[in-house]
Amino acid sequence: MNRRERLRESTLEEIKTIAGQQMAEQGTAAISLNAIARQMGMTTPALYRYFSSRDELITALIVDAYNAQASALETADASFSLPDDYAGRLLSVLLVYRRWALENPVAFSLIYGSPIPGYHAPAERTAPAARRNFAVILGILNAAYQAGVLRPTERYFQLPPALLDRPDAQQLLSDGLPVPVLYLGLVGWSRIHGLIMLELFHHLDTLVGDLKTFYKGEVLELLAANGLVPPDRNS
Amino acid sequence: MNRRERLRESTLEEIKTIAGQQMAEQGTAAISLNAIARQMGMTTPALYRYFSSRDELITALIVDAYNAQASALETADASFSLPDDYAGRLLSVLLVYRRWALENPVAFSLIYGSPIPGYHAPAERTAPAARRNFAVILGILNAAYQAGVLRPTERYFQLPPALLDRPDAQQLLSDGLPVPVLYLGLVGWSRIHGLIMLELFHHLDTLVGDLKTFYKGEVLELLAANGLVPPDRNS
DNA sequence: TGTACATCAGTGAACGCGCGTTCACTGATGTAC
DNA sequence: TGTACATCAGTGAACGCGCGTTCACTGATGTAC
């Protein structure tokens, strides 16, 4: 790698870092090439050496955000010491899911919040990174299911078939994922998502004091309802 | 009411309607006094007769959105024919909650989506309207509880006291709302919220086909887990 | 019922500002012989 | 090792555009007597 190539790489990272800082202050919709260039001590046209347009930059930021979140989840799972304690692994990963959202509120709302006006994400670029996240959760659920530890409630076996008739779901099922596991994964994902969104956008501030405990309670409840109980309940 | 006053009233409504249309096309962050005036065939300064600033307009739109949503919920509940069928009432109200969100995606994300950059909502203006929504759900839950039909699971009685130590929660409790009912309300709200947010921002498009059934399943599951079952399960 | 005055919705010009994007250019870095 | 050339990051000026807000004003509507 050249000196020139190394410089290019680090400038590219700097652009995205500063874009992130500015979104943190002004919101995701406020991404501005001029403002980024100004803070970097460059002129705006120079940024066009790195991104062919503002939309290109946004797409890169979104893909980065998905990947950063997925890496956080994967790291949390990989560093969990008891691979057979599926409940513990899920709880650990889902707590990291929430923590990552709270520590990276901008990246999180870039992904899951209101879309940026005038910007349309090219699905072929963002979708693969998006799937990585859900895959982590589904992976642990499925491992627990195969091990016979996860025993989904009756309802997860009795779902209307029209529910999972979309391409990504079909792909997962044809890759061998059992229906109740996918169904349970969707339910779990939507539940934690709701709590995090409400917390992140301050709709629970005046109602609930200890949001981490509240969140943890919801996760443990869902796991327990499907047969998954951590070996040591003190954790 | 004067001719002048009537005109003023209708112009004020028109401003907010057009602001809504433009947000529908461009996103909530794209509210622009110039664009609104242009579409109305007026000059921009004329809008300052109605709102002292852009932020004032946004605040008005937010308060309107909260109130519109609350009215939709209240109407749905009031028009439900069997007041003693608490499960039916809750299901009906919560289906309207989702439907209102899908039919008014802009108003919904104005309230619950990412905040508008540079705008800070004055809590004293928006909070009362916000509380109205949650009150509808809590009202039915409490009625069902008082009637002895809603029997919350054990866990809703055993929550850490730090969970509800915030002003709004304290207010509700001191107004006589039982702890398990409030706790259950919060759990229910967060669950439906998560599904709606994911659906609204298109994160479930490639996974779940029939989202209404999925949503309904989650609601009925929560109700049934706490003793509330509609008299006629065909509904 | 008619007149004098007050109210106030809306105008038009101007303010200073920031935006994304294009273009021809300079000058340092890297490559081939 | 030295020279000629190619690459390409970054500049500076310019493009046309939209933004929120202020100000002195016009002219229709409403009110008091």
Nearest alpha carbon to residue A105 among A196, A15, A179 = A196
Whether residue B190 is predicted with pLDDT greater than 60 in this model: the reply is yes
B196 vs A119: which has the higher pLDDT: B196
- What is the residue-averaged pLDDT of chain B? 94
User: Are A116 and B163 an interchain contact pair (Cβ–Cβ within 8 Å)?
Assistant: no
Q: Find chain A residues with C-beta within 8 A of B117's C-beta.
A: 26-30
Mean pLDDT, residues B133-142: 98
Cβ atoms of A165 and B205 within 8 Å: the answer is no
Q: Which nucleotide is nearest to A40 (CA to C1')?
A: D10
Q: How far is the CA of A234 from the C1' of C27 (A)?
A: 66
Task: Enumerate residues 6+ apart whose C-beta is below 8 A from B32.
Answer: B22
Q: How confident is the model at residue A235 (pLDDT cuts 50, 70, 90)?
A: very low
**Which tens digit of pLDDT belongs to each residue from B13-44?**
999 999 999 998 888 988 999 999 999 999 99
Task: Enumerate residues 6+ apart whose C-beta is below 8 A from A70.
Answer: A129, A132, A133, A135, A136
User: Are B213 and A162 an interchain contact pair (Cβ–Cβ within 8 Å)?
Assistant: yes
Whether residue B235 is predicted with pLDDT greater than 50 in this model: the reply is no
Q: Find chain A residues with C-beta within 8 A of B210's C-beta.
A: 160, 162-163
pLDDT score at A232:
66
Mean pLDDT, residues B47-73: 97
**Which string of DSSP letters, residue by residue, matches A27-50?**
-GGG--HHHHHHHHTS-GGGGGGT
> Angle, nearest 10°, between helix axes B54-78 and B123-146?
10
**Which tens digit of pLDDT belongs to each residue from B163-182?**
999 999 999 999 999 999 99
**Which tens digit of pLDDT belongs to each residue from B82-127?**
999 999 999 999 999 999 999 999 999 999 999 888 888 899 999 9
Please give the model's pTM, rounded to 2 decimal places: 0.94
Whether residue B232 is predicted with pLDDT greater than 70 in this model: the reply is no
A-B CB pairs within 8 A amount to 154
A1 vs A95: which has the higher pLDDT: A95
